[in-house]
Amino acid sequence: MVPWSAEDGLDLEGYRNTLLPPKEIFFPRWEPMLRYSGWGRNLRWEEVRAPSAGRPAVLFGVRPCDARSLTVLDAVFQDDHPDPYYLQRRRAVVVVVLACTTPGRSCFCADVGGGPADERGADVMAAELEGEIRMWPVTDKGAQLLAETGWEPDPGGRELLEQHMQRTPTPAHGVPAGRYPEALEGRFEDPVWDRLHLPCLGCASCTYLCPTCHCFDVADETSDGGGLRVRGWDSCMFALYTLHASGHNPRPSVKERFRNRFMHKLSYFPKRYGLLACVGCGRCVEHCPVNVDVREVMKELVSDVQS
Amino acid sequence: MSSPNPYLPFPAVIEEIIPETDSGDVKTFRVRFQDAACWERFRYLPGQFAELSVFGAGEAPISITSSPTQEEILEFAVKRMGRVTTALHHAEPGAVIGVRGPYGNTFPLAELRGRHLVFIGGGIGLAPLRSLINYVLAPGHRGDHGDVVIIYGARSPGDLVFKWELDRWQTREDVQLYVTVDREHEGWHGRVGFVPAVLEEVAPSSRNAVAITCGPPIMIKFVLQVLERLGFAPSQIVTTLEMRMKCGIGKCGRCNIGDKYVCRDGPVFTYEQLKAMPAEY
Ligand SMILES: Cc1cc2nc3c(=O)[nH]c(=O)nc-3n(C[C@H](O)[C@H](O)[C@H](O)COP(=O)(O)OP(=O)(O)OC[C@H]3O[C@@H](n4cnc5c(N)ncnc54)[C@H](O)[C@@H]3O)c2cc1C
Ligand code: SF4
Ligand code: SF4
Ligand code: FES
């Protein structure tokens, strides 16, 4: 995701998806939350926002899988205690989703209940069809953007896209979607984890690149006479993540952490929020240094259940 | 910025610091909100916890050990462990700290009505129990329950917390209190023995009773075995769990055990619930 101005022009040739998911627009890698100053009796603190928070913006070219990841993040950040930092950014940004008229090789959105023309999470839907960008609104916010920018809503676009999709291979790898979280019921103690985790280095690349991963750490960064309470991305793949002050660690080795990551995406999250926390973007598949493949993990767990 | 920010702690003043253990590793902090209006937004029940902020060091989840039936003051018993808890231990009366919450579920107050209650605590594990004990002993509530049995132990007499409170409970006729230490100590004339052994000896009846236990994992392990021998069903046993936490409100993802978040679905669980969860705590 980069800032864009009209002079830059737009060349979508060969564009598959961004390396980093759009989550950082709403949930930055590093974000100040509070500012404090003084000491002892004279300690003071107040809420702060990063300069970028709440700045209106349009995200163009978000892929349908990533747009759907926003619905996963929304579920967490809108929950009982709404998160004002995330929600302020979410309100200010309009998401223009670009349908995947040619899906990428690691994509498997269709396996996990999505699809290359999925409109969930989109404010405006766009598609490059017959050499032209067609756009139509999905939400009121999207309709407003189109009206303000003078774009004629293009009701025929959706139908044209549907026709196009019928001629395009579906991004699926045979991982049955409807089986989660049921497929993982009782699999916590399964010996399969003893084998599956072996290649994993615990580097956490997968979680940083994942559009739905949202774990964070909170820390106080003190400088002269005051400081900031900030939050930053964290990862369940790290040992320190769950380490108690006593030295006890409920997830002491890569095996438990690896299992937690997949169980969270495919079982715990769906149980809690009714949504699968994998949208099939394929980033972790492409970028894992040792080729851990979430699709293979899913197939393993599901096929085992069938046998 | 009109919506309340759940990460913004209320300012509270430390009014009093009570050293609990001889080594000084546990202190009780009595704190009062700077703005009395905060009480309205901080209605808590026994079992819940708060995130305490020492700015510059960070935040830590700490059980509320006071009872909502007492005057408008919050009490936290804190063991010195790492950054935040050490910074708290260095604070002096008058210092301002941040308090946000209350978070988590509560002890199952409705299910405790009409029952005999058996409290079993070890070390600083008495802190969350104390909130409930004082709640059920409060004038309006004592009649809601049958017998109140309290079994509490620590490694040595110097490691017992809330000695002033134990003395108060001791004087009540409607409380059976058993205090024990692991080994003989000079000047100690009370019981000697591990908490599970004392529990076995006291042998409270499981009929129409609920056992509520909190303490070090090793104590819990043996207490559960004894309770099962005494006929307590898993649904009659209540305990509290700890996991590392940051947000306290189900966002940061850190405190999960399976699909449960300890900060939201806990920290209070029955043994029955615990058995259905992955053993990853
Ligand atoms: C629901 C709940 C109730 C608790 N009640 C009490 C209590 O009444 N009295 C008491 O002394 N202690 C209690 N604890 C444990 C206490 O929270 C930790 O000892 C404390 O967080 C350690 O923080 P630290 O900064 O001193 O240690 P560090 O090791 O420096 O920890 C850094 C950070 O890690 C996190 N962390 C580390 N260990 C734990 C842990 N065991 N649990 C949760 N977060 C952790 C905190 O966010 C902390 O700020 C409770 C924990 C939980 C989850
Ligand atoms: S990217 Fe691969 S090696 Fe790194 S933590 Fe994820 S699964 Fe393990
Ligand atoms: S788990 Fe992998 S494929 Fe699924 S959403 Fe996250 S990064 Fe994409
Ligand atoms: S402490 Fe953040 S999710 Fe429980």
pLDDT in tens, A201-253: 999 999 999 999 999 999 999 988 789 999 999 999 999 999 998 889 999 99
What are the distances in angstroms from CA B15 to CA A36, B79, B97, B162? 21, 18, 11, 17
Residue among B78, B107, B50 nearest B266 (CA): B107
pLDDT given at position B94 = 94
Q: How confident is the model at residue A176 (pLDDT cuts 50, 70, 90)?
A: low
In terms of pLDDT, which residue wins out, B261 or A190? Answer: B261
Question: What is the distance in A from the centroid of ligand 4 to the CA of B278?
Answer: 17
Q: Which of B103, B120, B152 is the last residue of a domain?
A: B103
Indicate the angle between helix axes A64-77 and A84-92, nearest 10 degrees: 140
Q: Which residues of A touch B58 (CB under 8 A)?
A: 218-220
Whether B246 is in a domain gets the answer no
Question: What is the distance in A from the centroid of ligand 3 to the CA of B182?
Answer: 51
**Radius of gyration over alpha carbons of chain A, in Å?**
21
pLDDT in tens, A130-141: 888 889 999 999
pLDDT in tens, B119-154: 999 999 999 999 999 999 999 999 999 999 999 999
From the CB of residue A135, how many other CB atoms can be counted at a distance below 10 Å?
21
Ligand 1 within 6 A of CB of B239: no
Q: Which of B103, B125, B152 is the last residue of a domain?
A: B103
Q: What whole-number percentage of chain A has pLDDT above 90?
A: 59
Closest ligand, as measured to the CA of A23: 3
From the CB of residue B156, how many other CB atoms can be counted at a distance below 10 Å?
15
Query: Does the pLDDT value for residue B225 go beyond 90?
Result: yes
Let me know whether B135 and B37 are in one domain.
no
User: Does residue B270 contact residue B235 with C-beta atoms inside 8 Å?
Assistant: yes
User: Looking at the 3D structure of chain B, how many domains does it have?
Assistant: 2
Whether B230 is in a domain gets the answer yes
pTM, to two decimals: 0.93
A242 → closest Cβ in B1, B85, B254: B254
How many interface pairs between A and B have CB atoms less than 8 angstroms apart? 117
Whether B255 is in a domain gets the answer no
Query: Does the pLDDT value for residue B2 go beyond 80?
Result: no
Tokens of A5: 């101005």
Q: Which of B58, B80, B103 is the last residue of a domain?
A: B103
Let me know whether B170 and B184 are in one domain.
yes
- Provide the b/e sequence for A112-131 (b: ≥16 CB within 10 Å): bbbbbbbbbbbbbbbbbbee
Let me know whether B139 and B209 are in one domain.
yes
Q: Which residues are CB-neighbours of A150 under 8 A, at least 6 positions away?
A: none
CA distance A53 to A46: 16
Q: Which residues are CB-neighbours of B221 under 8 A, at least 6 positions away?
A: none
Domain span at residue B97? 10-103
Ligand 1 within 6 A of CB of B245: yes
CA distance A246 to A282: 38
Residue B268, strand partner residues = B240
Written as one string, the DSSP assignment of B214-256 is ES-HHHHHHHHHHHHHTT--GGGEEEE-----SSSSS-S-TTE
pLDDT in tens, A111-123: 888 889 999 999 9
Whether B232 is in a domain gets the answer yes
